[in-house]
């Protein structure tokens, strides 16, 4: 049922039935972008999104080991201690977590898709576990990049029946922070002594973190790192959720149960306060903006291929055209002067 | 001749005649963007661009004092020791530099335009000098931002007869590096001991620097800073121009004559190798891409105002629409399916 020419509907049905090759194929389509990705998106966005946990932090902070441990604990199900308000739109109905998917996002890697079923050694523990699906995502063929592909991949996983998706990024580059923060719960992982190396990123990380994790907590400096984070949090504007600072030692698994419980508390908070729906809608608006921008950049690229873009640049260089008039000629306004909705 | 309702043509004529209020008004129009900026651009891009020197570096590296000194030396004219090849497109014809404009770009400042004629204390020396024009640029009303407004402002200054424009940025943020590197000659200013604080930016700065300046050279660590830079340069791919590493003490003016001579050598190199025209054309292509993208984002914003964007997001949230179909409906392809050039 996962033959190369199978239509997206058939692939999704197969993926929902446990066919991992079909699921991998769908994700490859999403990663490539273009018309076929649009067909997959049409199906995937019809299903409510899965719960997503984003994990970001500096390279070397042990995010992969932590993800590995977190997935293990999450398979035990959501803790029952924090029941959701039955009045919210998307309550915690399913305490068990029968499947978990990990999207390992590495914008700098030339490889993608190849990590299915465990070519990442650190994830080997789960490689043969049918309830855990691991996928690397790197470059993407078309414009829009990972910032577009990752949310779509999350929706495909949700439509295939995966209730929990962990999005892990390699570093704290702008794109990676963007991708990791487009989650329901975003974890920022630091290590004792992080302060010196990540000074510049602090403000940005504070903005996106729902939870801070000091990993490698068995190293010296845990106390200082916690105090540093708590002081930062003291200085930031008061909000209805103050990110807790947790300590883990991912290599031994210490603190991971508490981390999972904190994620569950954040989920309950989002659901009870109604923030979950608001945040998800804001993310959809961001996704739509990205798709719109990517479409236009594709048009600009098409112009470029047709030589018209270069012609325009040449005329500007000659002084016979300016960028504004060139834009007007290359891309006449459409949305604002007519109603293209039919 | 610089009345508020004067048409761009009249303002530009007045500015070329030395009317600074008219010039300031033109720059304000460019900064605001929109249709009127397009009218100004039409005029400004008809004149070849002035020579531009971009200056970037970490806050505290003394860029403003250095700019101040450089402007003073530049007013003495281009050194005659490096005549341009008469065969190149844009030779150094005018050895004297009768006017210099400084654009001080500060993306974080809520103020802009206000610094004309010297409200920046450090520029006070030049405040009453009619041959030096100083302007701060900060936020811009419309989408596209400073990355669009600065190159246009440079062209306006050129059209008003200013032969040399220095673009100075406050820091080394992504936007600032982009703005400073969109110059004919880009200076990266560091200080002794810079290595520790700018580790992460090193590779990016190496990419854009045509000249490195170790300012505050009277401080300890000059030797190490130079060696550090030279080692970086040794490791980078060989090019036809190896950025020289200069030492200045801007507070006393020491080394600034040598810096100006190095800028002149770089200019001669660009002109003799033909690189100047190639680089300028690449910058125009980048500017056109920015205008095109800004236009589309404006259309998306117009959709948003009309409520159609929000309607689409709501439908996506409901599962009855997906971002791809929404984009198709909101922004049907134009450039690729018809020829809008008439």
Distance from C-alpha of B93 to C-alpha of B73, rounded to nearest angstrom: 19
A interface test, pick of B323, B333, B339 with most A CB neighbours within 10 Å = B323
Contacts of residue B195, defined as CB under 8 A and 6 or more positions apart, other chains included, come to: B202, B224, B225, B228
CB contact under 8 A, A322 and B296: no
The tens digit of pLDDT for each residue in A287-335 reads 888 888 777 777 666 766 678 888 889 999 988 999 888 888 887 655 4
Distance from C-alpha of B234 to C-alpha of B242, rounded to nearest angstrom: 9
CA dihedral in degrees (B107, B110, B114, B119; nearest 10)? Answer: -80
H-helix or E-strand containing B223? helix B222-235
CB contact under 8 A, B288 and A312: yes
Of B103, B105, B116, B99, the closest CA to residue B161 belongs to: B99
The tens digit of pLDDT for each residue in A259-278 reads 999 999 999 999 999 999 99
Q: How many CB atoms lie within 10 A of CB B205?
A: 24
Low-confidence ranges of chain A (pLDDT < 70): 1-5, 80-94, 107-128, 139-144, 195-203, 299-301, 303-305, 332-342
CATH architecture of the domain formed by B47-97+163-273: 3-Layer(aba) Sandwich (3.40)
A interface test, pick of B288, B297, B308, B310 with most A CB neighbours within 10 Å = B288
A-B contacts at Cβ under 8 angstroms: 172
DSSP per-residue string spanning B307-336: THHHHHHHHHHHTS--HHHHHHHHS---TT
Distance from C-alpha of B17 to C-alpha of B15, rounded to nearest angstrom: 5
H-helix or E-strand containing B54? strand B51-57
Chain A CB within 8 Å of residue B316 CB: yes
Q: What is the structure's pLDDT at B121?
A: 47
Q: Buried (b) or exposed (e) across A12-28, using 16+ Cβ within 10 A?
A: bbbbeeebbebbbbbbb
Distance from C-alpha of B176 to C-alpha of B173, rounded to nearest angstrom: 5
Q: Which residues of B touch A285 (CB under 8 A)?
A: 309-310, 313
Contacts of residue B238, defined as CB under 8 A and 6 or more positions apart, other chains included, come to: none
Ordered by start, the domain boundaries in chain A are: 47-97+163-273, 287-336
Å from A171 to nearest chain B CA? 13
Low-confidence ranges of chain B (pLDDT < 50): 1-3, 82-94, 110-122, 141-143, 200, 334-342
pTM above 0.90, yes or no: no
Q: What is the structure's pLDDT at B342?
A: 29
Å from A127 to nearest chain B CA? 32
Å from A148 to nearest chain B CA? 10
Chain B CB within 8 Å of residue A301 CB: no
Q: Which residues of A touch B329 (CB under 8 A)?
A: 340-341
Q: Which residues of A touch B177 (CB under 8 A)?
A: none
Contacts of residue B259, defined as CB under 8 A and 6 or more positions apart, other chains included, come to: B66, B70, B73, B187, B211, B213, B246, B248
Cβ atoms B294, A297 nearer than 8 A = no
Query: Which residues share a beta bridge with A53?
Result: A166, A185
Contacts of residue A271, defined as CB under 8 A and 6 or more positions apart, other chains included, come to: A84, A85, A88, A90, A91, A92
CB contact under 8 A, B288 and A309: yes
Nearest beta carbon to residue B322 from set A41, A48, A299: A41
Distance from C-alpha of B6 to C-alpha of B4, rounded to nearest angstrom: 6
- Coil, strand or helix at B241: coil
Cβ atoms A164, A157 nearer than 8 A = no
* CA dihedral sign of residues A40, A44, A45, A51: negative
Place of tokens 């450039």: B335
CA angle B180, B196, A245 (to 5 degrees): 100
CB contact under 8 A, B292 and A322: no
Q: Which residues of B touch A310 (CB under 8 A)?
A: 285
Token code pair at residue B11: 């303002």
Chain A CB within 8 Å of residue B219 CB: no
CB contact under 8 A, B299 and A335: yes
Q: Which residues of B touch A150 (CB under 8 A)?
A: none
Cβ atoms A126, A70 nearer than 8 A = no
Å from A218 to nearest chain B CA? 27
Distance from C-alpha of A167 to C-alpha of B164, rounded to nearest angstrom: 50
Nearest beta carbon to residue A38 from set B309, B324, B329: B324
Chain A CB within 8 Å of residue B315 CB: no
């Amino acid at each position: 049922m996962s033959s190369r020419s199978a239509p997206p509907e058939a692939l999704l049905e197969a993926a929902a039935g446990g066919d991992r090759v079909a699921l991998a194929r769908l994700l490859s389509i999403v990663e490539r972008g273009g018309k076929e990705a649009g067909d997959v998106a049409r199906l995937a966005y019809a299903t409510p999104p899965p719960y997503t946990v984003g994990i970001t932090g500096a390279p070397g902070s042990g995010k992969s080991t932590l993800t590995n441990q977190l997935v293990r604990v999450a398979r035990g199900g959501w803790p029952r201690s924090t029941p959701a308000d039955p009045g919210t739109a998307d309550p915690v109905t399913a305490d068990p977590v029968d499947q978990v998917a990990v999207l390992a996002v590495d914008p700098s890697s030339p490889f993608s898709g190849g990590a299915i079923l465990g070519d990442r050694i650190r994830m080997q523990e789960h490689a043969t576990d049918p309830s855990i699906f691991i996928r690397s995502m790197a470059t993407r063929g078309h414009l829009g990049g990972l910032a577009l592909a990752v949310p779509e991949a999350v929706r495909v996983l949700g439509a295939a029946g995966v209730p929990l998706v962990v999005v892990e990024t390699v570093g704290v580059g702008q794109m990676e922070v963007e991708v990791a923060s487009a989650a329901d719960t975003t974890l920022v992982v630091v290590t004792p002594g992080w302060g010196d190396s990540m000074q510049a990123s602090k403000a940005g990380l504070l903005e996106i973190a729902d939870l801070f994790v000091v990993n490698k907590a068995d190293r010296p400096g845990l106390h200082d790192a916690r105090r540093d984070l708590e002081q930062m949090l003291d200085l930031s504007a008061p909000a209805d959720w103050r990110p807790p600072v947790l300590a883990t030692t991912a290599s031994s698994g210490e603190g991971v149960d508490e981390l999972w419980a904190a994620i569950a508390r954040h989920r309950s908070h989002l659901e009870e306060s109604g923030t979950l729906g608001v945040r998800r809608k804001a993310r959809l608006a961001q996704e739509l903006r990205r798709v719109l921008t990517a479409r236009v950049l594709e048009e600009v690229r098409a112009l470029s291929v047709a030589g018209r873009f270069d012609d325009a640049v040449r005329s500007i260089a000659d002084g016979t055209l300016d960028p504004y008039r060139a834009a007007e000629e290359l891309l006449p306004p459409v949305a604002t002067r007519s109603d293209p909705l039919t």
